[in-house]
Structure 1
Amino acid sequence: MANYRDMRIFQFSQSALARKIALWAVSIGLLFFGFLSNVWHVAEQQWFDTHQRDTESLIIGRMVKSRQDGIFSVGGLTGAGVTTNIQQDWISSNQIDNQYAAYLNKHSFDKFSPYMSQTGGQGIIFSLLDRPIPLSPQIKLWSFYVLTALLSAIALTAIVSWFYEEFGGCVAIFVVGSAVLSQWLTVFGKNLWWSLWAFYLPMIVVLYLLKRHRVPSNRQFIKFSILIFISVLIKCFINGFEYITTTLLMMVTPCIYYAVLDKWSGHQYVKWTLVAGLGSGVAIFFSVVMLCFQIGAAKDGFMDGVAHVIWSFGKRTYAEPQDYPEVYAASLEAGTIGVVVTYVNGIFFDLNNYLSLTNAFVSDFLLKIRYAYLMVLFIVMSALLFWRSKKMMAEPQQQSIALIWTTWFSMLAPLSWYIIFKAHSYIHTHMSFLLWQMPFTFFGFAVFGAAVLVWTKKTESPQG
């Protein structure tokens, strides 16, 4: 009898493992091919082909400079082979083309203008990979796209897998579907500059730490702080301080879920706040110091780096317009509410890529699925899930409530950037819609999937 029971347990564990492997394979495949070549036509093709080609060209420029003068020349900073200062005069389309041509044709630069607002770790890594690989530049560049798209797909699949383990296959399908259909994830997925996976790394670390250690010991808190430090340091090294407030709030989003699920005490809240704050704070400090040294190597010293960091922070937030070039005046004077409204009205998914209609109203307001529509949908689904959860057993009921709380907390992650870095958000409406996927839409669609699941199956009443 015992042997039969052991065999059944073994078969069940094998079946569960097979389902999980299948989930990872399907999710990675769907995301990878979408990121690499827009195979699902989620984004308009020309947009996909040219999106953020200007910033990516700075990585290409770094590889040319590394091949020419060494990986750590000009402090290892990314940049462009132009005579102008790209901090003041951004590169033109012709200069962007010249960057790619120089790399692909093995040319060199006479001049190099570094971009000094990011450490450029991704440029250093690609330069390290570029040097020993005995292939043509064309094949190497394609390989770098494959690597970046694959890492991005793996990172998002790790998040999908967490939803699968917590809520089951139905919810996981909704989450992976939202990632595949997001035009913003698609156009960013293989970009060498943005290295999308790095934004999600701290959140993934916290997700699985908390899942495996629901009641951590004091020694484990030290371990957690070190792991958070490493993950945030990697993020800052790979793509700098891009969307840093969103990354940090995304990182602590799992804490909200487990805090509600496990009914944390005030003592636990304080401990986790200290762990997250200490680990991420030290990582950011190290990254700022590193950037200042890099700028100092490219200019006249460490204090030049400090001055540039302060100047760069000011132009992205709420500095006085008169202290900056006129080109930044409109963004610094812009109203915060207006900036947020712009992003709320952004497009998540465009059905016009699949349908051709002449009715302008239908095309603009019905076929373009806007984030405002998703917010309304998530509110309705949150209400339905909460209502239905009253008829659930205690554990799934608490899970549903925790998911709802976490979803609406996660909305603070994108909002933090739109509000704190208002000036940056005002200018960069061609890219910052990406932040809604960090991780608000994932949790929103998880609520959607959970609501559909509980309303389409018989629920057990809670025991009194």
Structure 2
Amino acid sequence: MKATKRKKQICRVARWLLTAAAILLLSVGLTLWRHNGSSYLTGFWDNGSQTLVFGRMLQMQQNQHSPGGFMGVYTQDWSDQQNRYWYRDNTPMDPAQFQAYTHQSGLQGWGLGILNKVLSVFEDSGEARETMLYTANSILFYAATLCICLAVGYGIGWVPALAWLTAAVFAPWPQRGMKDLYWCLWTWWLPALAGLLLCAVTRARGKTPRWCYFFVFAACLVRCMCGFEFISVFLILCEIPLVFCWAEALCARRPARPWVGRMTAAGLCALGGVAAALGVWFLQGMAYYGSAEKSWANLSGAVTSRVSLTDGAVSDVTVGQVLRRYLLEINEPLVQIGPVTVTLLPLAVAVLAGFVLCALALRVRGRAASRELFPLFCVWVLSFAAPLSWMVLSKAHSYVHTHLVPMLWHFAFVPVSGMVLAALICRGAKALLHKR
């Protein structure tokens, strides 16, 4: 009996290791195939902000900690890319040449600074190390995407999982942004991965261990320590998997109330992670400014301006204007496969049409369409609400940063739309082809 149990444990560990190895190899392959390590072949997304990270890495490489010790430092001219050129040339720096950036906690600058110091042992060229860091960021983004694909494959189907991956691989915005050292797009998926892990463990065990909630807390903490912008999107991403499980249980007439409790607990843990990140930021401010009052003024000023409470530059801009800008006026490709491009409104219309046609196909076969489609519809609506939530919460940031906000459609509206559309096609075709 003990030998059989041990053999099963060994098989389980071996399966996990093989899966992890496959994800890593495929992530490397996708990065090389799509040239994500190159700073020239795919272009940049917000190249100005990541100069903060280059300045911080250069400081750490030269064992400097002033000014600030925050995520980044910049020269007198914001976004002038000078830090990047200094980093490439390993230029000796005087701390007086920098200003501290005090609106972030700065975990990514510190983490990449450590990785850069390790890489500098083997590679003296700053340009070569820059490519290595881009490559590492891209591999992590693909790895997070593939982990979500696995969850989709086991939970919904492998064709929808392939659609999710296709939406990520052929999306122009993430192709430019996944290498960005400031935003670290792979961390944007951490709350969603924590929610998926909680759902998978709960389904397997019939109950939710406490450590699952800790992962939700940690995922939101790490994400916010790499930047608080777009925070409402990440919080919704964390809840989407739990909402799917709740809707599925409700439609199957299984107890759904426990999932409401899990959604509440996960939400509280996510907010706890946000609060902890704010606490770290506040303590950093105290160390830098020398007083709690100045630290609080800096923190509260940054937060309230981000959510349009104190930014007078857009006091006359309405939420309707912001939404119209991103729903109707900005019509850039969200997915591009050769000459074929997909934009926002056609994608939304295609998914809605898919729901209608699939419901008709199920009804023709005498099956309850609402029961089978309700979980997918909940996920799709929330995926649409996630990017819109930031546009509503932060009209100032959104109205000005049109080079940043469209990225939010990929977290998670675009991949979810691809996944849902594929699932609808599969279910509709199966219903029509299935013999009575």
TM-score range, shorter-chain basis? 0.7 to 0.9
Shift of 1:30: 3.2
Aligned to 1:227: 215
CA RMSD for the aligned pairs? 3.3
> 159, 163, 167: which one pairs with 2:148?
159
Aligned to 2:10: none
- How far apart, in 2, do the equivalents of 1:69 and 1:30 lie? 35
**1:246 aligned to 2:204?**
no
Shift of 1:113: 1.1
- How far apart, in 2, do the equivalents of 1:458 and 1:431 lie? 41
Shift of 1:194: 0.9
Aligned to 2:8: none
Shift of 1:21: 8.1
Aligned to 1:131: 117
**1:349 aligned to 2:333?**
yes
The 1:121/1:394 distance shift into structure 2, 3 A limit, reads farther
Aligned to 1:305: 295
Q: Deviations over 1:119-144 (max 9, x none)?
A: 11111011112223312123222211
Shift of 1:25: 5.3
**1:335 aligned to 2:324?**
no
Aligned to 2:85: 101
- How far apart, in 2, do the equivalents of 1:275 and 1:417 lie? 23
Report SS of the residue matched to 1:411.
helix
Kept in 1: contact 2:27–2:139 (CA 8 A): no
Aligned to 2:168: 179
The 1:457/1:269 distance shift into structure 2, 3 A limit, reads closer
- How far apart, in 2, do the equivalents of 1:404 and 1:62 lie? 44
TM-score of the pair, normalised by structure 1: 0.79
Shift of 1:290: 0.8
Shift of 1:241: 0.7
Aligned to 2:419: 446
Report SS of the residue matched to 1:214.
helix
Aligned to 2:3: none
The 1:19/1:340 distance shift into structure 2, 3 A limit, reads same
Kept in 2: contact 1:236–1:287 (CA 8 A): yes
Range moving further from structure 2, 295-304 or 242-251: 295-304
Kept in 2: contact 1:57–1:100 (CA 8 A): yes
Q: Deviations over 1:76-135 (max 9, x none)?
A: 3133342x3xxxxx615xx31x21121122221432112221111111011112223312
- How far apart, in 2, do the equivalents of 1:352 and 1:149 lie? 19
**1:257 aligned to 2:244?**
yes
Unpaired runs of 5+ residues, structure 2, are: 1-13
Q: Deviations over 1:262-289 (max 9, x none)?
A: 1275642442233122211221111111
**1:422 aligned to 2:395?**
yes
Kept in 1: contact 2:170–2:337 (CA 8 A): no
Q: Which amino acid aligns with 2:427?
A: V
Aligned to 2:346: 373
Shift of 1:236: 1.7
- How far apart, in 2, do the equivalents of 1:226 and 1:258 lie? 20
Identity %: 21
Q: Give 1:43-192 correspondences, 5 Å limit.
A: 48-70=42-64, 72-82=65-75, 84=76, 91-92=78-79, 95-96=80-81, 98-107=82-91, 108-109=93-94, 110-133=96-119, 134=121, 135-136=123-124, 137-192=126-181
Kept in 1: contact 2:365–2:431 (CA 8 A): no
Kept in 2: contact 1:261–1:402 (CA 8 A): yes
Unpaired runs of 5+ residues, structure 1, are: 1-13, 40-44, 85-89, 323-328, 356-366
Report SS of the residue matched to 2:154.
helix
**1:318 aligned to 2:308?**
yes
Shift of 1:254: 0.6
Q: Give 1:262-281 correspondences, 5 Å limit.
A: 262-263=249-250, 265=255, 267-281=257-271
Shift of 1:252: 0.3
The 1:435/1:170 distance shift into structure 2, 3 A limit, reads same
Kept in 2: contact 1:32–1:150 (CA 8 A): no
Report SS of the residue matched to 2:402.
coil
